[in-house]
Amino acid sequence: MDLFEAIHTQRAIRRLKPDPIPDSVIRQLLEAAICAPSGGNRQGWVFIVIRDPDVKARLAELYREGFQELLKIPYYRDAGSAPPDSAAGKMLASAHHLAEHLQEAPILILACLKTEGTTPGITMGSSIYPAVQNILLAARGLGIGSTLTTIHRFRDGQVKELLGVPAGVETAALIPLGYPFGKFGRPPRKPVSEVTYFDRWGRPPPW
């Protein structure tokens, strides 16, 4: 698949078939992940591939608890009262479906980051989310649906306990993966011209 086709049609796919993903394909996803950059090339990433049905089921319970917490946040509460056929309404319906069916995804990947020695804050994410994005793009290239979620963080302590994640490690993203019921396609986004400045905040592009 062409690089730009993959980039332009990688969108959140939250309705996933339970069909298994072969080991060789899982490896391709992870081989893509580790090519990403990380601060000082530290490679503090750890990927936990979860496919044990009991572990998935327990994680899904915690995820659903987290989803209820998420819905209390004004941004998502507002989305809940948006028309069902609006972009926000569709996103929420799809997110709700995922929460109900998370355990049916053939695999979940929990992307973790060993954070000792790195500066707390947003830039910590620069050492793990590029790898996560490589997983999403590789999945797109292999015809596998995925979405980047962080909802498990509402139950972070219990998730870490369930999976034995030690202290000094952040759980950055939980990525459900499976062959899609839905279709890949252009994701709904604001145009570049609305989010780009030149040389100074507020100065529009010259084109």
Positions 51 through 110 that interact with its own copies (CB under 8 A): 51-52, 55, 73-76, 79, 87, 91
Cα separation, 93 vs 116, whole angstroms: 38
Cα separation, 50 vs 116, whole angstroms: 25
Of 109-138, binders to its own copies (CB under 8 A) are 113, 115, 117, 119-126, 128-130, 132-134, 136-138
Which tokens go with 173?
């993203």
Candidates 148, 158, 179, 184; binder of its own copies (CB under 8 A) is: 148
Cα separation, 101 vs 69, whole angstroms: 18
35 in contact with its own copies (CB under 8 A): yes
Angle, CA of 159, 164 and 169, to the nearest 5°:
80
Cα separation, 62 vs 48, whole angstroms: 17
Residue 83 exposure: Cα atoms within 13 Å on the Cβ side: 3
CB of 114 to its own copies, least distance (A): 10
Candidates 102, 173, 176, 180; binder of its own copies (CB under 8 A) is: 173
Candidates 145, 165, 176, 177; binder of its own copies (CB under 8 A) is: 165
22 in contact with its own copies (CB under 8 A): no
201 in contact with its own copies (CB under 8 A): yes
